[in-house]
Amino acid sequence: MVNKENISVGEEAETVKILTIEPGANLSAPEMRRAAIEMLEGGGVIYLPRSGFELSERERELISDTAKILTRVPDVEDGRPTIIFDPARGRIKKYHYAQVRGKMMRAQVRDTARPDIEAIMARYGKWAEDIITQLFPSYQGPLDRKRVTYRPFSRNSTQSLHIDSSYGYPTQGRSMLRIFSNINPANRPRIWQLGEPFEPFVRRFLPSVHLSKPAWFSSILARLGIVDGTKTKYDQYIAALRALGMRDKDYQRTAPRKVMEFPTGASWIAITDLVLHGAISGQHSLDQTFYLPVEAMNDPSHSSLRILERLTGEVLV
Ligand SMILES: [Fe+2]
């Protein structure tokens, strides 16, 4: 049977929408807030070309030479490993590993640089919270501020289009709201690709999803402290869809996309388990992750949780 929804011959494929907020614009103006929340919850990206987060001259100089801040620079250039800052503890996580070409690696910050890097990341987290509360005041109470990520390493290989899955930090149906900033001291842009809207992506891969691990498996891992909280069916679906999309070479070659260049000093905001994205190149970016309960959204039906529940016919949290 031919499903009409899968045919898009001759039509201009739809990609993620972008709202640009010009420098100096009032983020608290009612019409600005309305446009921002509609764009964000609708699966778009909010782009602030000059958002105002800045490093001091000394900080710029420090990060200009990664050998000054890290004990080891990896020989693969895919932007990993990253440095994670936990705002609740006010500290960089010491043992945050990433798989870099089969090897487990971590970004080990030099003792001499640690206070400065922690200060930058702490300041960034507060700044990010301030921007988000100005633009989305209705999120303020329920919004949960999680980790800050710093990517000191260069990326020179294109990351497949994907939605974010939270691995060790299940969102349990909450949306992953993230604000990113390019802080490259040599004015190198951060380049991303942005894909199609969430729903056509899900419709394409949903028939291939087979959830394997039962919920009890995840709750044991959570109880042992291996993961931070139990993975719900929602987390499992998101992880499965992400993996299917990333693995599908044909999809990655032909999927609708547009390329965005974010210069130094720019920031951008998106719900990253709703927006298909992938980094192409860049070095030195910061981002702050928040978890947002869907009930706190202006229109929860736009959330990836509610879209997935509608398409699967299941309750997922
Ligand atoms: Fe991502």
Residue range 175-210, pLDDT digits in tens: 999 999 999 999 999 999 999 999 999 999 999 999
Task: Provide the 3-class DSSP secondary structure of residue 5.
Answer: helix
Question: Is residue 247 domain-resident?
Answer: yes
> Measured at the alpha carbon of residue 314, what is the angle toward residues 311 and 317, in degrees to the nearest 5?
115
Return residues with CB closer than 5 A to ligand 1 (ion): 164
Q: How far does the centroid of ligand 1 lie from the alpha carbon of residue 200, in Å?
A: 18
- CA dist list (Å): 46 to 18, 43, 219: 6, 10, 36
Nearest to 257 by CA among 16, 9, 6, 7: 16
Answer yes or no: is pLDDT of 89 > 50: yes
Q: How far does the centroid of ligand 1 lie from the alpha carbon of residue 85, in Å?
A: 17
Task: Provide the 3-class DSSP secondary structure of residue 291.
Answer: strand
Please report, for the chain, how many H helices and E strands are present, in that order. 9, 13
Question: Is residue 3 domain-resident?
Answer: no
Question: Is residue 38 domain-resident?
Answer: yes
Question: Is residue 4 domain-resident?
Answer: no
Question: Is residue 220 domain-resident?
Answer: yes
Q: How far does the centroid of ligand 1 lie from the alpha carbon of residue 164, in Å?
A: 5
Q: How far does the centroid of ligand 1 lie from the alpha carbon of residue 3, in Å?
A: 30
How confident is residue 13, by pLDDT bands cut at 50, 70 and 90? Answer: confident
Answer yes or no: is pLDDT of 129 > 80: yes
**How far does CA 260 lie from the centroid of its chain?**
15
Reported residue count of the chain is: 317
Domain extent, residue 251, equals 16-312
Answer yes or no: is pLDDT of 2 > 60: no
245-270 pLDDT, tens digit per residue, is 999 999 999 999 999 999 999 999 99
Share of the chain above pLDDT 70, in %: 87
How many domains, in total, are found in the chain?
1
Question: Is residue 226 domain-resident?
Answer: yes
- CA dist list (Å): 316 to 52, 74, 232, 238: 39, 39, 7, 11
For residue 215, give the CATH number of its domain.
2.60.120
Of these ranges, 73-82, 169-178, 181-190, 230-239, the one predicted with the greatest mean pLDDT is 181-190
Q: How far apart are the first and last CA of the chain?
A: 33
Q: How far does the centroid of ligand 1 lie from the alpha carbon of residue 277, in Å?
A: 6
Angle between helices 57-64 and 114-135 (to 10 degrees): 120
Question: Is residue 1 domain-resident?
Answer: no
138-147 pLDDT, tens digit per residue, is 999 999 999 9
Share of the chain above pLDDT 90, in %: 74
- CA dist list (Å): 126 to 52, 53, 117, 296: 13, 11, 14, 21
Cα diameter, the chain: 65
212-224 pLDDT, tens digit per residue, is 766 666 666 666 6
Question: Is residue 229 domain-resident?
Answer: yes
